[in-house]
A and B are shown apart, each in its own frame.
Chain A
Amino acid sequence: MTTNRRSWDKDIAEHVLRDAPAGRLHARDPLSQLLQAAAAPASADELAFEHEAIAAFHLSAQRSVTSLPRRRSKMKSALAKVLTLKAIAVLAAVSAGGVALAASTGVMPNPLERFLPGAPGSAHPTPPATTGPGSHGTTSPSVIGLCRAFVAGVGVDRGSALEDPALSVLITTAGGKDKVDGYCTEVLASPEAGGDPPHSTGEPTAHPTGEPSTHPSGPPTHPTGVPSTHPTGPPTTRTAG
């Protein structure tokens, strides 16, 4: 019991809490080491959802309605669905480096320098590693993203969507147009996609994730203010199943 007990006071705690995230905590005591480890720089694994996030970003640009890609939207126009799907599929493919989708691994350049004052161009522009999208064992985040887009955006018009060249990667991966549905079902149920049925991306049948009855208070659309402990805040615009 040589350290800390007496020396800890709120000022020191504040100091530690302030310095740890900025990487300025250099003390050798175990607590500082623990906090430093907790705040260590990101690993590639932690950014594995990037393709999907980017795809969602562009999807939201395409339609300014409040509906998540993972939920089955009630878009009025089937054409709009297809166009949206096309956009997201192209973008997901581009994000993944296109060809890299079919490759066993892909490495993206780090596009971030211009936004990172002082960042040394990142010696490790490590993207989320994608491995073997063609195999069912390991699914690339991009394929997961494409499947989410497919399931969420296509709705009733899957046939038309499958004509879209943008989905060729997905079709190839799945092994044929007629297999995309099943493939995506499988992919989205996989652990890589967070395979829990309630999260099976826009399939509200099994678990009504969007049911107001079970979710009386969805996330507020604009939690910009002071969020309460529970999202009792502004009315939700969550679109139920």
Chain B
Amino acid sequence: MDGVTRDSGPVMTAADSGLGDPTDLSPALAAARDGDEQAFRVLYRAVQPGILRYLYALVGDDAEDVASETWLQIARDLRSYREEGAGFRAWAVSIARHRAMDHLRYHRRRPTVAVPVEEFIHLAGAEGTSAQAIDAIATRAAIAWIASLPREQAEAILLRVVVGLDAVSAAQVLGKRAGAVRTAAYRGLRTLAEQLDHYRTNARPPTDTRQGSGADAPGYPVTRKAPPAPKDMR
């Protein structure tokens, strides 16, 4: 991933950090609780993208909606929040998750993730993959791909990778043991690696990895769209 210098389009990341960079948000949190708008903005910019991407896996294209609700609640409850345990990121994403579950119960439908998955393969395989190539489309496609995993695996991976939680914090958010979350993430990563490998060698969609062999497993919110065959893997 040498080509990923990511100097294009980042909004507020340090030179060598990605989305879920575990920068200490405590100073900003303390200031925000004292009413400092800029501090709240820091929290928002640090956490919102990860929340949004995580929500895409849960509620598909309704993610922005749910993220909005999440931030209204964060703003509302910030002053009563006591930082402890897993920290602000985990607290915020817990709210997002609760909102997402509410949303799913209320709408009783599975949202779709309408993302051109093949774009990712195309971009990732392109010669000299550059910062420009790792853009929003690639990100959305990557999220959609991860979201095609069984939900517990997708959540375990996304909480780690895009929200930036450690295994223990992710486990708290999910209400599971850390070991179970590690295992779920590991299985998900293994499946992804196999799928990607499969694409590269066969250029055919892999078999569905979800339980029930492609049936819409109950409670699984993301309509599985078997990623189309890549146009170009090299």
Contact = CB atoms under 8 A, between A and B. Distances in A.
Interface of A: 1-5, 8-10, 13-14, 16-18, 20-50, 52-54, 56-61, 64, 66-70, 91, 95, 110-112, 114-120, 122-126, 194, 196, 198-199, 209, 214-215, 218-231
13 contacts: A13-B182, A35-B157, A36-B1, A40-B138, A44-B9, A47-B11, A114-B38, A116-B14, A118-B15, A122-B10, A122-B11, A218-B102, A221-B80
Nearest to B6: A41
Contacts of A61: 35
A38 B134 CA distance: 9
Interface residues of B, number: 112
Contact of B45 (A66, A67, A112): A112
Interface in B127-164: 129, 134-136, 138-139, 141-143, 145-146, 157-158, 160-164
A37 B72 CA distance: 28
Which 3 A-B residue pairings sit nearest by Cβ, starting from the closest?
A21-B20, A41-B10, A23-B18
Interface of B: 1-2, 4, 6-23, 27-28, 31-32, 35, 37-42, 44-45, 48-49, 52-53, 62, 64-65, 67-69, 71-82, 84-85, 91, 94-95, 97-99, 101-102, 105-107, 120, 123-125, 129, 134-136, 138-139, 141-143, 145-146, 157-158, 160-164, 166-167, 172-175, 182-183, 185-186, 189-190, 192-194, 196-201
A42 B49 contact: yes
B143 A13 contact: no
